[in-house]
Structure 1
Amino acid sequence: MAKKAKSADNVLAQNKKARHDYIILETYEAGIVLTGTEIKSVRNGRINLKDGFARVRNGEVWLENVHISPYEQGNQFNVDPLRNRKLLLRKKEIGKLLGATQGSGITLVPLRVYLKHGFAKLLLGVAKGKHTYDKRETLKRRDQDRELQRVMKNHG
């Protein structure tokens, strides 16, 4: 029997808009506290990180506004799709996050959800909001890089 080919960390969901709207200063890997039906939905890739954010409250980090669709066969065991979920981090990391979010314009943004050794993990980014001119600059630089790659490919 052949082994299953391992993809890049078994990525289940990505927040592509976060890298467009924010400058990512630091990233942290955190575990997520999920119920049985939630983990089954996450494994099926039925999670939306688009409007999500994290907040430090009472020495704990909570993931808010992330939608995990109810599991089809879950019936009475399904929970609210938008409920707040606790993130598992070390005390030292939580202290760093608390200090980082005290600054103005700094927020905690979920970047990616993936499976690691059978557990759902979240890549959490410490982010600073971009202005519209920063976004335009990023798009312009990406287009220039793409054009340069095209020219190099044709001449090479």
Structure 2
Amino acid sequence: VEERRGELFLVKAHIPPYIHGNIFNHDPERPRKLLMHKQEILKLGARVIEKRLTMIPLKVYFKAGKVKVEVGVCKGRQHADQRDVIVKREMQRDMDRALVDASKNRTRDDR
């Protein structure tokens, strides 16, 4: 979520186009304007600037025919934390690959 000229926009979020639409469908990656009271925008913007925080969408849901986005303010990861996450993700991928390879190499006689 970014603040531009006193307005909030949801950016880098993929919202697929309407299936039954036509060639005039919107770009799925386009920035979406979020409606919020001016005081809420100012309060969130001040917290983001003074404490170097980031606004992120926490939850997206439907209510009364409208799409609602719950926005949260959080601190970004430090460089060392990010490396730990990457290492854990790579280890999980390696384990998943090993399991798939082991299951593909299994024959009926092995059971």
Name the TM tier (shorter chain). Answer: 0.5 to 0.7
Give the letter aligned to residue 40 of structure 2. Answer: E
Higher relative contact order (CA closer than 8 Å, sequence separation 6+): 1
Match in the other structure for 1:64: 11
* TM-align CA RMSD: 2.0
1:109 and 1:103 mapped to 2: Cα distance? 17
1:96 aligns with 2:96: no
Q: Deviations over 1:108-156 (max 9, x none)?
A: 10111101122110011111124429x88xxxxxxxxxxxxxxxxxxxx
Q: Spell out the pairing of 1:125-144 with structure 2 (5 A cutoff).
A: 125-131=72-78, 132=81
1:68 and 1:85 mapped to 2: Cα distance? 10
1:76 and 1:112 mapped to 2: Cα distance? 30
The alpha carbon displacement at 1:73 in A equals 1.0
Identity in percent: 44
Mapped contact 1:63–1:86 kept (Cα < 8 A): yes
Match in the other structure for 1:83: 30
Give the letter aligned to residue 12 of structure 2. Answer: N
Q: TM-score, normalised by structure 1?
A: 0.48
Give the letter aligned to residue 77 of structure 1. Answer: F
2:37 and 2:52 mapped to 1: Cα distance? 24
Q: Spell out the pairing of 1:1-156 with structure 2 (5 A cutoff).
A: 54-103=1-50, 105-131=52-78, 132=81
2:42 and 2:52 mapped to 1: Cα distance? 18
Which consecutive unaligned segments of at least 5 residues does structure 2 have? 86-111
The alpha carbon displacement at 1:104 in A equals 5.2
1:83 and 1:108 mapped to 2: Cα distance? 18
- Find the structure with the greater CA-based Rg: 2
Length, aligned pairs only: 82
Aligned-partner SS, 2:28 = coil
Which consecutive unaligned segments of at least 5 residues does structure 1 have? 1-53, 137-156
Q: TM-score, normalised by structure 2?
A: 0.66
Aligned-partner SS, 2:26 = coil
Give the letter aligned to residue 47 of structure 2. Answer: A
Give the letter aligned to residue 61 of structure 2. Answer: Y
